[in-house]
Amino acid sequence: VQLQASGGGLVQPGGSLRLSCAASGFTLDYYAIGWFRQAPGKEREWVSYISGSDGTKKYADSVKGRFTISRDNAKNTVYLQMNNLKPEDTAVYFCAAAGPNTPILSALRLSTSYPYWGPGTEVTVSS
């Protein structure tokens, strides 16, 4: 099981980025995928997840209405579309996978529910 996040970069406040999480070695359909982020000097925090069972999507309050998670099973990739970015969104973003027996949905906000992690991609929001 391997995950590779990409799409980070430098963007001005109010701008947009789309992060990708490409999976290899397993089929995304049966796994929950979560996005987490870690800002300098802060703990890793949950951002969003999409479940493997029915595609349920959830977002942290801090990104709700601005970020959208989606999954392309044909490409075995999960995306995180980030709009109206703010300086406080600056962080290293990680994608993680849980499955094939997906934990209960409430547990998908916890980093400990995900055994598989990819290297992060850095997002900097600054003028």
Parallel/antiparallel/unpaired status of strands 2-6 and 45-50: unpaired
* pLDDT value for 115: 93
Angle at 58 between CA 14 and CA 99, to 5 degrees: 125
What is the C-alpha to C-alpha distance for residues 44 and 11, in angstroms, rounded to an integer? 21
What is the C-alpha to C-alpha distance for residues 126 and 61, in angstroms, rounded to an integer? 21
* pLDDT value for 104: 84
Angle at 92 between CA 39 and CA 45, to 5 degrees: 55
pLDDT in tens, 65-94: 999 999 999 999 999 999 999 999 999 999
